[in-house]
Structure 1
């Protein structure tokens, strides 16, 4: 899609970390001197910017959770003491319901531009921006970035599929920005109205906000090249996919950690935990160790594209949805990935119990047909589950079709005490 590249993306890991240490030291010093809330948090944690000697020293800085950030804004509106300039000097203030306030520096826009160039946005595009605008900052944020790149934006927002179809057709839109599932619903509606989407429409690329099971269909059935980006206010866009689509590369001026939500300590590559993000370039609203509440992992395995950065394989969900079993976080979305790779399974339900001082994983599976090879399915499920979630299933039970309600909780913790 995009042809934007930067030499730093191929630099050795050691050189990147050396550069990030200098930037981290600089942004923490600036935040300490200019942002009252940061200084207070640093002092309470016994941290001073002069303590930053290596990238590992970032763990000396306290993590700011989303709940803490919102609470501090409410106690000291509008920006909770994190802003380093008078807010009347800002170009734009984005508002979440709550309300919660955010802003972007010119440096944020510049970094976001690089991401969108890389994933395929370009001058001459006509972009359907199907991200919500009203009292949700995401739509306006994407709009601001795209228009700053000289790209034509059609702010359709979310919903009204009939109108979306007409607008895409009339304007010969070339790129879609939004959630893959909604894009698919627009395509299906176009087909219901008698269009052949591949023939009658010009959209061949999509900026995907979040992963989705329909993404493969968008690419294989409709020839639409999709790229996933990870966008999280207040930190911007810290990661995006390359042409290999083997995970989202961490952008050069971000520091992304995976931490155990219970302890706040970093976990090794490959283990699931909460994404914690630091920007090293925004001197207006410094974001240092902001907890996203999103569950994921990092991989340092080489990417075929040649870039040397860590990658985020995918976002697995929210912290509160995961269950920690034998020291590892298991999330319903991980199990859905396992199930989707095994033909014949229609629904599943997992219960975590505790017997004889051990965590027990009990799985119930519904099959599409009763005459399927249950032994083969059991073997595949247990093997794939262990490879994906890094813990072993104790028992698989097959139940009659219709036993598991459609809205049933897919992962249930039945232990009397949560074993961490």
Structure 2
């Protein structure tokens, strides 16, 4: 049930006492060893000695992704390079990547937290973990790999791509756990169906999916098509990689954040104000045990809420809600805020529509336009035009009623939307192209 019961079930008072102690120690280290933090803390008028309670966290400055890019590659590191045993970098598509370094202790901590995460998801020592997260500079593959080995499970380091071979390996090797992005798992299901393979004939029982927002409706679709229990995992390279938080298999109601290593906050993304428990806002994380590149109040841009209510699984760590999107992925269409995951949830509730879609945003006559392209199943695509038009109209009406956005829905033929073996590209915004 637990990988490390002592720390996973600490009383709230003990968690907060540990957090305060580790926070003060971390602030003292970065103030001494990282010029960026020495300057930003001085500007804020805060040092380790002035932190008397966790409430003082709000006095500390934020750290932004741009700060990491400006410090490229190593200027945010808090230890000499001779102590860094691993370097990863974000998969950013624009500009310089964000670079993170790990000491051996950081790697050990990461392995421990991923092992905790696997057990929380319902994985055991005897499992065979088919790891389809990408290996390399991306943290997903190696993060899951080390956690699996720490747990003592068997791990198959598949990485992404070569989907037919992936399915063959899962069949032949008796894989019981699948790790990948949720969109890639559905691509696997589609590819298996083309090969005449039924996932019910495989031994998979648990899928651990992350690296992109996904809806509850998509979870149900994945569970049906892959015949497994689908669990949401959260992490980001700047903070550690996968394993910062995960759902427990008992409840699947929020992701437990490992609070003995991270302090989560929810803030108003516009004002920076800390929001109370239960309110939705931007997730901010402070690392309190990292040696290589500790971060103070890192702005993740991920939108969620937090609860400290006890969980039926017995873990006492705070839970964050499933990510509804990123503040920088949020679309503003004629003044209305829309997240791709909100549209996905509507699409997944329409019979005959497949979980493959793309949102195309444009500007015509100085007005924003939104086109939703979504695939339909083989049996639907061959229907009369009148039936297809009825489906399009139904989706347009639901999006208007639920989100307040007028859009055009275009049903496209099966397999016409590009598949991804990593993070799915859901939005094409043409408004800034001129």
Residue 251 (str. 1) matches residue 251 (str. 2): no
Partner of 1:94: 88
CA separation of 1:336/1:7 partners in 2, compared to 1, >3 Å: closer, same or farther?
same
Partner of 1:47: 46
1:229-240 paired onto structure 2 within 5 Å: 229-236=233-240, 237-240=243-246
What is the SS of the residue equivalent to 2:111?
helix
Alignment deviations for residues 243-264 of structure 1 (CA, whole Å, 9 cap, x no partner): 2111112222221112222222
CA separation of 1:169/1:90 partners in 2, compared to 1, >3 Å: closer, same or farther?
same
Whole-Å Cα distance in 2 between the matches of residues 261 and 156 of structure 1?
A: 38
1:9-158 paired onto structure 2 within 5 Å: 9-10=8-9, 12-73=11-72, 78-80=73-75, 82-96=76-90, 98-104=96-102, 105=106, 106-158=108-160
Whole-Å Cα distance in 2 between the matches of residues 333 and 113 of structure 1?
A: 29
More off after superposition, 266-275 vs 276-285 = 266-275
Partner of 2:327: 319
Give how far 1:283 is off.
3.0
Root mean square deviation, CA, Å: 4.1
Whole-Å Cα distance in 2 between the matches of residues 131 and 266 of structure 1?
A: 33
Alignment deviations for residues 144-169 of structure 1 (CA, whole Å, 9 cap, x no partner): 33233333322221122111112212
Give how far 1:349 is off.
9.3
What is the SS of the residue equivalent to 1:249?
strand
Residues 111 and 143 in structure 2, CA contact (< 8 A), matched pair in contact too: no
Residues 138 and 237 in structure 2, CA contact (< 8 A), matched pair in contact too: no
CA separation of 1:402/1:365 partners in 2, compared to 1, >3 Å: closer, same or farther?
closer
Structure 1, unaligned stretches of length 5 or more? Answer: 352-361, 386-392, 414-420
Give how far 1:364 is off.
10
Partner of 2:420: none
CA separation of 1:136/1:311 partners in 2, compared to 1, >3 Å: closer, same or farther?
same
Whole-Å Cα distance in 2 between the matches of residues 309 and 35 of structure 1?
A: 30
Whole-Å Cα distance in 2 between the matches of residues 124 and 365 of structure 1?
A: 44
Whole-Å Cα distance in 2 between the matches of residues 408 and 91 of structure 1?
A: 35
Partner of 2:218: 214
What is the SS of the residue equivalent to 1:228?
strand
Residues 240 and 249 in structure 1, CA contact (< 8 A), matched pair in contact too: yes
Whole-Å Cα distance in 2 between the matches of residues 204 and 108 of structure 1?
A: 24
Whole-Å Cα distance in 2 between the matches of residues 32 and 368 of structure 1?
A: 62
Matched positions, count: 388
CA separation of 1:304/1:368 partners in 2, compared to 1, >3 Å: closer, same or farther?
farther
Residues 130 and 177 in structure 2, CA contact (< 8 A), matched pair in contact too: yes
What is the SS of the residue equivalent to 2:328?
helix
Structure 2, unaligned stretches of length 5 or more? Answer: 362-368, 374-386, 418-424
Residues 246 and 256 in structure 2, CA contact (< 8 A), matched pair in contact too: yes
More off after superposition, 270-279 vs 94-103 = 94-103
Give how far 1:275 is off.
1.4
Residues 370 and 408 in structure 2, CA contact (< 8 A), matched pair in contact too: no
Whole-Å Cα distance in 2 between the matches of residues 289 and 247 of structure 1?
A: 21
Whole-Å Cα distance in 2 between the matches of residues 224 and 208 of structure 1?
A: 12
Residue 284 (str. 1) matches residue 283 (str. 2): no
Give how far 1:279 is off.
1.8
Whole-Å Cα distance in 2 between the matches of residues 328 and 21 of structure 1?
A: 40
Give how far 1:341 is off.
5.0
Partner of 2:270: 262
Residues 163 and 191 in structure 2, CA contact (< 8 A), matched pair in contact too: yes
Give how far 1:143 is off.
2.0
TM-score, normalising length: structure 1: 0.76
Residues 238 and 251 in structure 1, CA contact (< 8 A), matched pair in contact too: yes
